[in-house]
Structure 1
Amino acid sequence: MTPAVTFAKRQKLAFELLEYQHDSNAASYGMEAVEKLALPAASVFKTLVVETEQGQLIVAIIPVAEKLSLKLIAKAAKAKKAVMANPDKVQRSTGYVLGGVSPLGQKKRLPTFIDASAEQQAKIYVSAGRRGLEIGLAPQDLRHALNGEFSELSA
């Protein structure tokens, strides 16, 4: 069990786990999940971590087919600027390897913003803490469990 699944159980979230055989040569982990699990791309989200000019790490959860707008995540986080966080910092802070970063069960809870498009979905899928494992849950439950906010984040 991953920390993400343990967290979801502790929070008593209604969720579904989906597993697939991860291909280490896949160009995009998120799109691999869409294809192998036959899910609509609009319902599969990736977890990205950015860093503000003050060095604060922020989690952005956006659809896998979209590109994160650094201007929009900075605005949502009330920062002047944001850049993609250093992979080593991401792994130390979250406890997850890149491609398997889950917004759930991170070592250190970070401010979290979820793309507003999630609100139109009955269920969204995010990494469950390792490549090849997705967790599906209601976007409102995800927001509530993470004390997150919905915001426009995609470019």
Structure 2
Amino acid sequence: MDHPVTQAVRFLRERKIGFVPHLYDYVEKGGTRESARQLGVDEHSVVKTLVFETNEKKPLIVLMHGDREVSTKNLARHLGVRSIEPATAERATKCTGYQFGGTSPFGTRTTLPVYVEKSILSLEKIYINGGKRGFLIEIDPGILKVELGAIEVEIGIGHE
């Protein structure tokens, strides 16, 4: 399958990490629901890469199930900061090097701390952005801890 060669793909290839590429038609504001529908997979296994900032303007990445939201209150408490809020699209792009809607945790411009919802790690496989809109990669979730040093958190809210 022909697929884009993004910084995320280069990151994975350099480390000899296997992945399966999946292309889909990007839909503005379609989110994980739309990508899951097009790929015929459970939205729970599609993982969002979200960029947040602390009240001190320190950026970080949170990896969350597609069908759940991040409790910023619980995340702030976990990090011991006053508040956390989503980074603007411009700030997220500046930190990661990826366009909003195509953010991957792999191969980011700046090395950012990565937090992963604990239950993601128990999935057999996940679908996560490959660094471009309309491009997901299927991968073993254990890679998130091994290669990104992702820290487990339990901050998801919403339906399971």
- TM-score, length-normalised on structure 1? 0.93
Could you tell me which residue of structure 1 aligns to residue 36 of structure 2? 34
Note if contact 1:17-1:133 (Cα within 8 Å) is conserved in structure 2. yes
The alignment-based identity, stated in percent, is 28
Q: Distance in 2 between matches of 1:23 and 1:136?
A: 20
Q: What is the CA distance between 1:120 and its match in structure 2?
A: 2.0
Q: What is the CA distance between 1:37 and its match in structure 2?
A: 0.3
1:3-82 equivalences in 2 (<5 Å): 3-24=7-28, 27-82=29-84
Q: What is the CA distance between 1:67 and its match in structure 2?
A: 1.0
For structure 2, list consecutive stretches of 5 or more residues without a partner in the other structure. Answer: none
Q: Distance in 1 between matches of 2:79 and 2:128?
A: 21
Alignment partner for residue 86 of structure 1, among 85, 88, 101?
A: 88
Q: What is the CA distance between 1:80 and its match in structure 2?
A: 2.6
Deviations 1:104-154 (A, max 9, x none): 111001000011111220111110011110011111112211111121121
Alignment partner for residue 150 of structure 2, among 148, 152, 155?
A: 148
Alignment partner for residue 124 of structure 2, among 122, 125, 130?
A: 122
Q: What is the CA distance between 1:42 and its match in structure 2?
A: 1.4
Note if contact 1:99-1:131 (Cα within 8 Å) is conserved in structure 2. yes
Note if contact 1:114-1:153 (Cα within 8 Å) is conserved in structure 2. no
Deviations 1:11-53 (A, max 9, x none): 22121111112234xx322111100000111110111111001
Cα-Cα RMSD: 1.3
Q: Distance in 2 between matches of 1:125 and 1:75?
A: 28
Q: Distance in 1 between matches of 2:45 and 2:10?
A: 22
For structure 1, list consecutive stretches of 5 or more residues without a partner in the other structure. Answer: none
State which drifts further: 14-23 or 58-67.
14-23
Q: Distance in 2 between matches of 1:39 and 1:129?
A: 19
Q: Distance in 1 between matches of 2:44 and 2:113?
A: 23
Matched residue of 2:69: which SS? coil
Closer, same or farther: CA 139–75 of 1 in aligned 2, 3 Å? farther
Q: Distance in 1 between matches of 2:20 and 2:82?
A: 37
Matched residue of 1:122: which SS? coil
Letter aligned with residue 141 of structure 1: I
1:107-118 equivalences in 2 (<5 Å): 107-118=109-120
Number of positions where the alignment pairs a residue of Structure 1 with one of Structure 2: 153
